[in-house]
Amino acid sequence: MAEKITVLIASVKEREEQLKTVLSRIYNNVDEIHLILNFYEKIPKWVTDKSKIVPHLNVQNKNAHDAIWSFVPKDGYVFILDDDLFYPQDYFDKLIATIEHHERRAVITAHGSNIIRPVEDYFGCRAVYGFSDRIERDLFMHMVGCGCTAFHASTIQPILQDFPIPYCRDLWFSILCAKNKVKIITPQRSQGWILPLKTPGDSVYEVTKRSKNLQQVKNRILKETFLPLLFCNQDINNYCLITDYDFDERLVNKCLETLTQTTADQVNKIIFNDKLNRRPGTLTQFVTPEERAIGRAGSKIITHFRFINGLPNGSKVISADADLYFLKDPFEAFNQDFDIAVTTRPEKYHYPINQGVVMFRVNDRVRDFLNFLAGQIFERTWPELIQWQMKFDHVGNDWCIGQDIMCVAWLCRAEILNQFGVTIKDIGSYYNFCPHADGEATEEGKRILMDAYDERKVAVLHLKSRLKELLFEGDLP
């Protein structure tokens, strides 16, 4: 018996005439149509006259076009359509044949795109294979265009909760495919196989491209959730997030080189910077001017929170500065029992913690605590943090806030354990060795660091301040 064909489509009141055109062309080729009527106050009679259409009024546009995901069937073929496209008569046969050709293991889209790295911006990083383009053969894609997408219900089951932010459904659906290791394929087709209908008003794409807020949201989702799924090895749960705003090629290269040499297991290496310098074997994450404007340390905390928030439980994450020199495998620290590991300094100092190395074992407790910390970047409400910053006359989010947050977290570790269930442990300067190297202490600091290097006393050297001269001048190989 032929499998049922279900169509999901959302439309707005201003496009009623275009919707009529779309539905009249597809009506005889499908079994059921779930129609979301956004901003309609009542169901038009021409809709109720059609027995295959199941209308759903959405007067206030709740969840926008994502309202369709509440009606995904449990069996048969599922087609997502737009209200502004002229679909060909062989559209359903063509996409079903492609679904079956790929043994129901892929989502098929006639409007796909691939990500070009390094990534700076959502709109600038995609090579689009549009619905009107000639495609010579089936191609693998990174992203779907939902309005031209079909799949078998046994392949994937999107639900409304998979789309937490509206107007980003292409991204969220593509993320869902990546999480479930479902391939995305755009099929072979002729030029102009699908054509656009002339419509009043702007498309969601045009609105998004014009809105700075939506652009920033999409950039965040892309870089902090989607790219790791695409370009990090999902079979490896070790991650090193390296942040660098004052890009120095010598430091970054040595950091990556020594990390690779010393780690016993493979590591997903991710660099956050604002210079777009791509490195082999790493995922380069570009920090936009808007993100940097938050403040360098503040932006780092927020970006790392959102990145870590998207990783699976059990992932081991090292947040690292770019001026580190690895002598031993830093992931050996995870043999100890902690949720978050901080690194106290090798010498007495008024800041007990150096934020150049912080380690996270990803779980729901850590996510909740990092969410709390990220909120402090925008509004200080933590009394102990406020008092700490007043003590040192620290303001803003540029440098001090990251150091301040980790210091206060360490000093308040008992309260944090009680409130969040998060265990914070000091793993000491062994994993972040940074002696003083300012002013009169410079030469003594260099001597102490070189002794640690020669005797392999520690796992990680931190070439902080003028200590980096040891690398630049050839003392460190």
184 and 296 both lie in a single domain: no
Structural domain including 19 reads 5-212
Assess whether pLDDT exceeds 70 at residue 1: no
Asked whether residue 129 is assigned to any structural domain, the reply reads yes
Asked whether residue 436 is assigned to any structural domain, the reply reads yes
What's the whole-number average pLDDT of the chain?
94
199 and 250 both lie in a single domain: no
Query: What predicted TM-score, i.e. pTM, was given to this entire model?
Result: 0.85
- 296-309 and 364-378 are packed helices; what angle lies between their axes, rounded to 10 degrees? 150
251 and 179 both lie in a single domain: no
298 and 434 both lie in a single domain: yes
Domains contained in the chain, number: 2
351 and 208 both lie in a single domain: no
- CATH code at 316? 3.90.550.10
54 and 201 both lie in a single domain: yes
Q: What is the pLDDT of residues 424-464, one digit of tens each?
A: 999 999 999 999 888 888 999 999 999 999 999 999 999 99
198 and 332 both lie in a single domain: no
What does the pLDDT read at residue 353? Answer: 92
State what percent of residues in the chain have pLDDT above 70. 100
| 74-78, 121-125, 255-259: least confident range | 121-125
Q: Please count the other Cβ atoms lying within 10 Å of the Cβ belonging to residue 191.
A: 8
Q: What is the pLDDT of residues 104-127, one digit of tens each?
A: 999 999 999 999 988 888 988 999
Q: What is the pLDDT of residues 258-284, one digit of tens each?
A: 999 999 889 999 999 888 777 888 998
Assess whether pLDDT exceeds 90 at residue 26: yes
Asked whether residue 246 is assigned to any structural domain, the reply reads yes
What does the pLDDT read at residue 114? Answer: 98
| 212-221, 404-413, 460-469: least confident range | 212-221
CA distance 345 to 401: 18
pLDDT band at 202 (very low <50, low <70, confident <90, very high): confident
Average pLDDT over residues 312-316: 94
Beta-carbon contacts of 128 under 8 Å, excluding residues fewer than 6 positions away, are: 111, 112, 113
Average pLDDT over residues 322-333: 97
Average pLDDT over residues 360-367: 97
Asked whether residue 223 is assigned to any structural domain, the reply reads no
CA distance 328 to 261: 9
97 and 199 both lie in a single domain: yes
What does the pLDDT read at residue 310? Answer: 83
